[in-house]
């Protein structure tokens, strides 16, 4: 059957406009019988001005604006927000189907970093992480990822400089939409790929696949254990993924992209934070073009892990340094508002 123009309009309008690039937006306006230059205007209003409804695009003809009022741009609604003492802001965003996700905005003097979610919930069930306790609800669509950045940008009235995929979810299970979102954030919002970090627990084959996209993003891999059995104890999915295989894929990522990999390592008192573990970790990563990011554990209510003392954290850091490993410590922000690493969950807070 030959599809009519009306069919085309209906199908096109079902895909939210956010996430489309300028040529896709131009094709879309043309399909609505509008001149091509309106595509550029639409792009500007969606991405630069952050408009929420086509009805608000005042440069468009009034009749058309009204006719297109129901077309979804794809923006979420801020359901709740809390501000921590360090000015970190946690947003609970309500999506079109009523699901709630968390996004965090972290301002510093020179930067505005957004911690974005890639899924509603998470299937990985890492023992120390709040998100994993509720399981996975669904993947986020490309526009739902991009929207988080526009929402934080508008709330802070400041351009976002950095993005970390360290919110809810496992980005490499939703790689297609995450890669599309990275491209959109880069091309359409103008955030440099080198200012974007994708954090993964590691899914067999997926780091290799990501490398093929030849992005310049930073890959951060959640290691957390200095050997296979310790890692499996903390990350159930590690059972199906040998540490040696994970590191091989990371080496390929470095070879293909020319970017070094960051290894994230949560420090849990008495569990993975001893001198023996530091030595084992240094041995594991010797000669690897990488950087270790130590994250002292942020408490969650379901488990009783402990955060090591500052002294232990410093000693662990110094041991790695002494072995020639590049290392930094991340004291997460927004701790008292449950906005720090691993504390995000699909909250049911009523505003
Ligand atoms: N699924 C991805 C990204 C989300 S979590 C991943 O696992 O990498 C982002 C980072 O926060 C990961 O390194 C994760 O292990 C860490 N994290 C999770 N729970 C934490 C907690 N309670 N304290 C400190 N860091 C935590």
Our mutation pick for probing the ligand 1 site, out of 123, 340, 341, counting the most ligand atoms within 8 A of Cβ, is 341
Our mutation pick for probing the ligand 1 site, out of 106, 117, 119, 128, counting the most ligand atoms within 8 A of Cβ, is 128
Local confidence band at 1 (pLDDT 50, 70, 90 cut-offs) = very low
Query: If you take atom 18 of ligand 1, which residue's CA is the nearest one?
Result: 342
Segment holding 79, helix H or strand E? strand 77-83
Any domain includes 350: no
Same domain membership, residue 109 and residue 41: no
Local confidence band at 335 (pLDDT 50, 70, 90 cut-offs) = confident
- Domain of residue 109, residue span: 77-337
Q: How far is the CA of 66 from the centre of ligand 1 (A)?
A: 45
Decide if 77 contacts 63 (C-beta within 8 A). no
**Residue 167 burial (C-beta neighbours within 10 Å; 0-12, 13-18, 19+):** buried
Write down the pLDDT at residue 11: 46
Any domain includes 270: yes
| Spatial separation of the C-alpha atoms in residues 347 and 123, rounded to whole Å | 16
Decide if 272 contacts 266 (C-beta within 8 A). yes
CA distances from 308 to 9, 270, 297, 313, 328 (A): 58, 8, 8, 6, 16
- Please provide the average confidence, as pLDDT, over all residues in the chain: 92
CA distances from 12 to 37, 59, 71, 93 (A): 18, 22, 9, 25
Average pLDDT over residues 218-224: 98
Any domain includes 72: no
State the chain's maximal CA–CA distance in angstroms: 72
Average pLDDT over residues 330-336: 80
Tell me the HSE value of 183 on the side-chain side, using a 13 A CA sphere.
14
Domain count, the chain: 2
Decide if 79 contacts 126 (C-beta within 8 A). no
Q: Indicate whether 171 pLDDT > 90.
A: yes
Same domain membership, residue 268 and residue 322: yes
CA distances from 97 to 30, 134, 146, 281 (A): 29, 18, 17, 43
Catalytic residues: 102, 341
| Spatial separation of the C-alpha atoms in residues 185 and 340, rounded to whole Å | 23
User: Which of 37, 67, 97 is the endpoint of a domain?
Assistant: 67
pLDDT tens digits, 264-295: 999 999 999 999 999 999 999 998 989 999 99
Write down the pLDDT at residue 9: 46
Q: Indicate whether 347 pLDDT > 80.
A: no
Write down the pLDDT at residue 2: 37
pTM of the model: 0.94
**Terminal alpha carbon distance of the chain:** 49
Q: Indicate whether 12 pLDDT > 60.
A: no
Q: Indicate whether 10 pLDDT > 60.
A: no
Q: How far is the CA of 211 from the centre of ligand 1 (A)?
A: 22
Same domain membership, residue 29 and residue 131: no
pLDDT tens digits, 50-101: 999 999 999 999 999 988 988 999 999 999 999 999 999 999 999 999 999 9
pLDDT tens digits, 238-270: 999 999 999 999 999 999 999 999 999 999 999
Same domain membership, residue 148 and residue 107: yes
Same domain membership, residue 176 and residue 98: yes
């Amino acid at each position: 059957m030959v599809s009519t123009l009306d069919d085309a309009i209906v199908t096109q309008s079902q895909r939210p406009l956010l996430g489309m690039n300028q040529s896709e937006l131009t094709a879309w306006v043309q399909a609505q019988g509008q001149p091509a230059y309106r595509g550029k205007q639409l792009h500007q209003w969606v991405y630069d001005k952050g408009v929420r409804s086509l009805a608000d695009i005042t440069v468009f003809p009034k009749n058309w604006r009204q006719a297109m009022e129901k077309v979804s741009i794809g923006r979420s609604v801020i359901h709740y927000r809390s501000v921590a003492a360090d000015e970190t802001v946690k947003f609970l965003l309500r999506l079109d189907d009523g699901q709630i996700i968390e996004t965090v905005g972290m301002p510093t003097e020179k930067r505005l970093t957004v911690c974005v979610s890639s899924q509603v919930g998470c299937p990985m069930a890492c023992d120390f992480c709040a998100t994993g306790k509720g399981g996975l609800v669904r993947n986020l669509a490309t526009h739902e990822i991009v929207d988080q950045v526009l929402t934080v940008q508008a709330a802070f009235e400041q351009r976002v400089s950095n993005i970390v995929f360290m919110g809810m979810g496992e980005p490499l299970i939703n790689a297609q939409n995450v890669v599309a979102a990275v491209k959109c954030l880069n091309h359409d919002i103008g955030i440099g790929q080198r200012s974007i970090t994708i954090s993964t627990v590691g899914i067999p084959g997926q780091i290799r696949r990501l490398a093929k996209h030849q992005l310049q993003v930073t890959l951060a891999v959640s290691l957390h254990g200095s050997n296979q059995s310790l890692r499996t104890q903390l990350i159930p999915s590690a059972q199906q993924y040998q540490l040696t295989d994970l590191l091989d894929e990371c080496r390929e990522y470095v070879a293909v992209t020319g970017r070094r990999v960051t290894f994230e390592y949560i420090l849990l008192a008495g569990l993975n934070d001893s001198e023996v573990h530091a030595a084992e970790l240094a041995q594991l990563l010797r000669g690897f073009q990488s950087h270790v990011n130590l994250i002292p554990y942020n408490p969650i209510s379901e488990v009783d892990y402990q955060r090591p003392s500052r002294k232990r954290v410093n000693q662990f850091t110094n041991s790695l340094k002494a072995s020639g490993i590049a290392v930094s410590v991340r004291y997460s922000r927004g701790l008292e508002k449950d906005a720090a690493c691993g504390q995000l969950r699909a909250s049911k807070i009523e505003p």
